[in-house]
Amino acid sequence: PSVRAWPLPLGRDAASHVTPRGGAGVGAMSRRERDLEPGPGAAEAAVEDAEPESPDQCLSLLPWDRFSAWLHCVCVVGFDLELGQAVEVIYPPHSKLTDKEKTNICYLSFPDSNSGCLGDTQFCFRFRRSPGRKVSLCCFLDQLDRDLPVYLKKDSAYYYGYVYFRQVRDKSLKRGYFQKSLVLISKLPYVHLFRTMLKQIAPEYFEKSEAFLEAVCSDIDRWPPPVPGKVLQLPVVGVIMKLRIPTYRDKPGTTPIVQNMHQADAQLSMALPTVHEVDLFRCFCPVFFHIQMLWELVLLGEPLVVMAPSPAESSETVLALVSCISPLKYCSDFRPYFTIHDSEFKEYTTRTQAPPSVILGVTNPFFAKTLQHWPHIIRIGDIKLPGEVPKQVKVKKLKNLKTLDSKPGVYTSYKPYLNKDEEIVKQLHKGVQQKRPTEAQSVILRRYFLELTESFIIPLERYVASLMPLQKCISPWKSPPQLRQFSQDDFMKTLEKAGPQLTSGLKGDWIGLYRHFLKSPNFDGWFRSRQKEMTQKLEALHLEALCNENLVFWSQKHTEVETVDLVLKLKNKLLQADREHLPVKTDTLKKLQTHINDIILALPDDLQDILLKTGTT
Asked if 417 contacts 430 with a C-beta cutoff of 8 angstroms, the reply is: no
The pairing of beta strand 376-379 with beta strand 409-412: antiparallel
Q: How far is CA 469 from CA 36, 323, 490, 526, in A?
A: 11, 34, 16, 20
Mark which of 206, 222, 238 sits at the end of a domain: 222
For position 318, what pLDDT does the model report?
Answer: 97
For position 145, what pLDDT does the model report?
Answer: 83
Asked, for residue 537, whether it belongs to a domain, the answer is no
Domain CATH code at residue 169: 3.30.450.200
Do residues 324 and 285 share a domain? yes
Do residues 555 and 497 share a domain? no
pTM, full prediction: 0.83
| Domain residue limits at 288 | 281-529
Complete DSSP assignment for 353-410: SPPPSEEEEE--THHHHHTTTSSEEEE-------SS--S--SPBPGGG--STTSPSEE
Q: How far is CA 90 from the centre of its chain?
A: 26
pLDDT score of 319 more than 70: yes
75 φ/ψ angles, rounded to the nearest 5 degrees? -120, 150
Asked, for residue 310, whether it belongs to a domain, the answer is yes
Do residues 205 and 297 share a domain? no
> Running DSSP on this structure, what letter comes out for residue 251?
P
Task: Please indicate whether residue 55 or residue 439 has the higher confidence score (pLDDT).
Answer: 439
Asked, for residue 336, whether it belongs to a domain, the answer is yes
Asked, for residue 48, whether it belongs to a domain, the answer is no
Asked, for residue 426, whether it belongs to a domain, the answer is yes
What is the rounded end-to-end Cα distance, in angstroms, of the chain? 29
Nearest by Cα to 614 from 573, 580, 568:
568
Which of 126-140, 186-200, 490-504, 514-528 has the least mean pLDDT? 126-140
Nearest by Cα to 228 from 439, 432, 455, 55:
55
Do residues 98 and 194 share a domain? yes
Do residues 560 and 516 share a domain? no
Do residues 352 and 422 share a domain? yes
Do residues 213 and 95 share a domain? yes
Asked, for residue 451, whether it belongs to a domain, the answer is yes
For position 616, what pLDDT does the model report?
Answer: 53
Asked if 265 contacts 331 with a C-beta cutoff of 8 angstroms, the reply is: no
pLDDT digit string, tens, across residues 577-596: 888 888 888 888 888 888 88
Do residues 347 and 480 share a domain? yes
Asked if 242 contacts 271 with a C-beta cutoff of 8 angstroms, the reply is: yes
Do residues 205 and 112 share a domain? yes
Mark which of 172, 204, 222 sits at the end of a domain: 222
pLDDT-based confidence at residue 136 (cuts at 50, 70, 90): low
Domain CATH code at residue 445: 3.40.50.11500
pLDDT digit string, tens, across residues 383-392: 554 455 555 5
Asked if 374 contacts 407 with a C-beta cutoff of 8 angstroms, the reply is: no
pLDDT score of 6 more than 70: no
Mark which of 176, 199, 222 sits at the end of a domain: 222
pLDDT digit string, tens, across residues 360-373: 999 988 888 888 88
Q: In what order do the strands lie in the sheet with 119-128?
A: 84-91, 73-80, 177-186, 158-169, 119-128
H-run or E-run covering 589: helix 586-601
Do residues 329 and 448 share a domain? yes
**Type of residue at 529:** S
* Cα gap 52→227, rounded to integer Å: 9
Name the β-bridge partners of 90. 75
Asked if 66 contacts 222 with a C-beta cutoff of 8 angstroms, the reply is: yes
pLDDT-based confidence at residue 611 (cuts at 50, 70, 90): confident
| 378-415 per-residue burial string, b: 16 or more CB within 10 A, e: under 16 | bbbeebeebeebbebeebbeeeebeebeeebbbbbeee
Do residues 471 and 575 share a domain? no
Q: Tell me what percent of the residues of the chain surpass a pLDDT of 90.
A: 45
Asked, for residue 60, whether it belongs to a domain, the answer is no
pLDDT score of 59 more than 60: no
Asked if 588 contacts 476 with a C-beta cutoff of 8 angstroms, the reply is: no
* Cα gap 216→214, rounded to integer Å: 5
* Cα gap 293→414, rounded to integer Å: 9
Do residues 565 and 487 share a domain? no
Asked, for residue 459, whether it belongs to a domain, the answer is yes
Asked if 384 contacts 438 with a C-beta cutoff of 8 angstroms, the reply is: no
Nearest by Cα to 348 from 367, 321, 324:
367
Give how many domains the chain has, as a whole number: 3
